[in-house]
Amino acid sequence: MTLSGAVITYNEARRIGECLDSLLLVCDEVVVLDSFSTDETPAICQSKGPRVRFEQHAFDGHIEQKNRAMERCTHPWVLSLDGDEVLSPELVEQIEALRYRGPVAQAYAFNRRNRYAGRWLRYGGWYPDRKIRLWDRRHGRWGGDNPHDQVLMKPGAQTARLIGDILHFTYETPEDHLRQVQNFALKSAKAQYERGRRISAIQSQLGPWSVWIRDYVLKGGFLDGRQGFQAARASALYQQLKYAELRRLQKDPSPKPTP
């Protein structure tokens, strides 16, 4: 089982070295598709040796960029990480064992453990946060709604699970999360509007509260302490901003004026 790693990057100098090091433990090659980073990301990637192939392409969407990276891989099996993710030692062992014995499915899903403002979150929907990240690209590709991409497999393709976690170093501070919330909310609202989704005024009012109750209460976010509260608050704000933008687009689909 030969395996290609695939990563898209933009200003990921903080973690990209660890990300690539973990991929090189199990991959025959790693393709990095960068969106013209302005930090040390290119230099770090290019220092990792001949098994890392560094290329650049202008960013026009998470799904589009990840599919480009996948298509640049030379092996049929692809292992994809984000630039702030690392394979845990247990997951490295599982993937190595899979490479030795050969696959029995067309895709494999892993748990993802998210580190938020200095704490590994266990509740509030942040764990196990299972994702397909290892698959035969002849049977699946990236899809979903930007910026929330996911690997979509063809009908009939089988998915199995490997033990071990992807370690995701998300936001260093809650303020980092809140800054990204607005950007992602606007992109998601646009994608959903173009797909034909419409919501009522009552949905836009109740939606954020339902997210808060789901994440903080029903899914136990309060058990993650202060970080659990901050994460649930940001998720509710994301829903509020997304629904507000959807309502705006329903009334006037023209681009939002730049302040």
Q: What is the mean pLDDT of residues 183-209?
A: 92
Ramachandran angles phi, psi of 123, nearest 5°: -130, -170
pLDDT score at 163:
95
Which amino acid makes up residue 50? Answer: P
Q: What is the mean pLDDT of residues 216-231?
A: 97
Local confidence band at 253 (pLDDT 50, 70, 90 cut-offs)? confident
Indicate the average pLDDT of the chain: 95
Please state, in angstroms and as integers, the Cα–Cα distance from residue 202 to each residue in 92, 233, 247, following that order.
47, 20, 11
Could you report the per-residue pLDDT of 106-137, keeping only the tens digit for each? 999 999 999 999 999 999 999 999 999 999 99
pLDDT exceeds 60 at position 257:
no
Strand partners, 77: 3, 136
Q: Which residues contact 235 (CB under 8 A, 6 or more apart)?
A: 211, 212, 215
User: Among 259, 232, 238, which Cα is nearest to 189's?
Assistant: 238
Q: What is the mean pLDDT of residues 10-25?
A: 97
Whole-number Å distance between alpha carbons of 127 and 122: 5
Q: What domains are defined for the chain? A: 3-169 (3.90.550.10), 174-251 (no CATH)
DSSP code of 7? Answer: E
**DSSP E strands: which ranges in 100-174?**
107-116, 119-120, 131-136, 140-145, 148-153, 159-169
User: Among 72, 66, 79, 231, which Cα is nearest to 150's?
Assistant: 66
Could you report the per-residue pLDDT of 69-98, keeping only the tens digit for each? 999 999 999 999 999 999 999 999 999 999
Q: Which residues contact 109 (CB under 8 A, 6 or more apart)?
A: 130, 131, 132, 133, 159, 160, 161, 162
pLDDT exceeds 60 at position 259:
no
Tokens representing residue 186 in the block: 């606007």
pLDDT score at 252:
85
pLDDT score at 255:
67
Local confidence band at 146 (pLDDT 50, 70, 90 cut-offs)? confident
pLDDT score at 254:
74
Give the residue with greater pLDDT, 256 vs 21.
Answer: 21
Strand partners, 153: 140
pLDDT score at 135:
98
Q: What is the helix (H) or strand (E) element at residue 210, kind and residue range?
A: helix 201-212
